[in-house]
Amino acid sequence: MIYREYGKTGKNVSVLGFGGMRFANPSDIDGSAEMLLHALNQGINYFDTAPGYCGDHSEDIFGAAVTEMKKLGKPFYLSTKSNKADGGEVRRELENSLKRLNVDCIDFYNCWYVLTMEDWAGRKKGGAVTAILKAQEEGLIKHPAFSTHLPGEDIRKVIEEDYFEGVTLGYSVINFPYREEGIKAATEHGKGVVVMNPLGGGTITQNPDTFDFIRVRPEQNNLDGALHFLMNNKDISVMLTGFRNKSDIDTAVASVDAYRPYTKEEVEEIRKHIDSDFNNLCTTCMYCNNCPVDIPVWKFVESANGLYYDADGSIADRLKYHWGTDISVLDLCTECRLCEDVCTQHLPILERFEELRSAIGDQ
């Protein structure tokens, strides 16, 4: 296992993190808890959960594992979250998480799921940020962080406000241009970076042919390609992978152990392919952030990618839960086609809107 410093916290975290959102049998609390022990024995020391994950069983599974994990005498770090804007509600969730996780202090606590800059303003106004910082002063939280789906430039703005010691963000070999700026900003300001969705929510491994270009060496499979590309970026502290069972853990650990640094040429090769092999897919580069009626075009076109390969979940859910929007926003479109003029992939964006409308109608 490879360990990296999480920002300036002095914590050495495993580059492969345990994401507690995909347990195969979450109602089997003890059986699932064994997976955390197994992971700790394999060198994983960063464990991420949240209220509500896996039918709200995930924090209980973590709590059941913690007592046994302490007995192993190896350092490990717990991360959980609150998505509430109201400070009082954050405090209640935090106290509940402490009880469920069976600890007096949570190592990393995320102001969770910051979707837009308006949302971020609401977290500050509602008292969520103050509540998290107060809990840190009281010793209930060690390191405050935030988790977000904002684009890179907005992540930079939140980082520069300097409330948090780290950021958790969605990032993968197939969407890296969208949040690269956020990772750069985190490093410039000494913050930790935890990457969620390193496998694009399973898309990369479920569609080996579409994403074949991420394998730069013959011995690699798509999982290796996805993880090794991220590991090659030293600014990333942890890649959070959602494990269903012990076998998923073993496979991911073996992949991390097989990592050898990429050459500059190999990285360039992947970057080039993002432009060329993705010729019918949106890369979330955000050049289309120029809509005169403020439609977040990239959110819709990226969601429409799911029509071209086997994606996890429904498109309506992706728009709602990942992007915080819905199809009715497209009613504002005047069909001026300014977005199509600047699209780096030359995508027929208005056609994609229509395809999205009918796909959502059918779901």
For binding to ligand SF4 (CB under 6 A), which residues are involved? 282-288, 291-293, 295, 297-298, 301, 333-339, 343-345, 347, 349
Closer to ligand SF4 by Cβ: residue 243 or 300: 300
Taking the CA atoms of 160, 163, 165 and 169 in sequence, report the sign of the dihedral they define.
Answer: negative
Residue closer to ligand SF4 by CB (options 267, 342) is: 342
Q: Is 15 or 301 the residue whose CB approaches ligand SF4 more closely? A: 301
Query: At closest approach, how far in Å is the CB of 272 from ligand SF4?
Result: 15
State the Cα–Cα distance between residues 88 and 90, nearest whole angstrom.
5
β 3-5/12-14 pair status: antiparallel
- Please tell me whether residue 325 adopts helix, strand or coil conformation: coil
Give helix then strand counts, H and E, for the chain.
16, 10
Distance (Å) of CA 250 to CA 35, 40, 46, 201, 253 = 11, 12, 16, 19, 5
In terms of CB distance, is 23 or 353 closer to ligand SF4? Answer: 353
Is 112 in contact with 101 (CB distance < 8 Å)? no
In this structure, are residues 286 and 298 in contact, taking their beta carbons and an 8 Å threshold? Answer: yes
Amino acid type, 5: E
Name which of 67 and 334 has its Cβ closer to ligand SF4: 334
As measured in angstroms, the least distance from the Cβ of 289 to ligand SF4 is 8
Nearer to ligand SF4, 82 or 283 (CB): 283
CA distance 99 to 108: 16
Query: CB 97 → ligand SF4: shortest distance, Å?
Result: 36
Least separation, in Å, of the C-beta of 172 and ligand SF4?
Answer: 15
Shortest gap between Cβ of 325 and ligand SF4 (angstroms)? 12
DSSP characters for 229-278?
A: HHHT-TT--EEEEE-SSHHHHHHHHHHHHT--PPPHHHHHHHHHHHHHTT
Yes or no: say if 95 and 58 are a contact pair by the CB < 8 Å rule. Answer: no
Nearest to 233 by CA among 212, 205, 258, 262: 262
Distance of CA 205 to the CA centre of its chain: 16
Q: Which is nearer to ligand SF4, 295 or 311 (CB)?
A: 295
Q: Work out whether strand 16-19 and strand 12-14 pair parallel, antiparallel, or are unpaired.
A: unpaired
Residues 6+ apart with CB under 8 A from 135: 91, 94, 109, 141
Closer to ligand SF4 by Cβ: residue 272 or 337: 337
- Tell me whether residue 1 or residue 332 sits nearer to ligand SF4 (CB atom): 332
For residue 278, give every residue at least 6 positions away whose Cβ sits within 8 Å of its Cβ, in sequence order, or none.
174, 345
Torsion angles phi and psi, residue 28, rounded to 5: -85, 85
The minimum distance between CB 177 and ligand SF4, in angstroms, equals 8
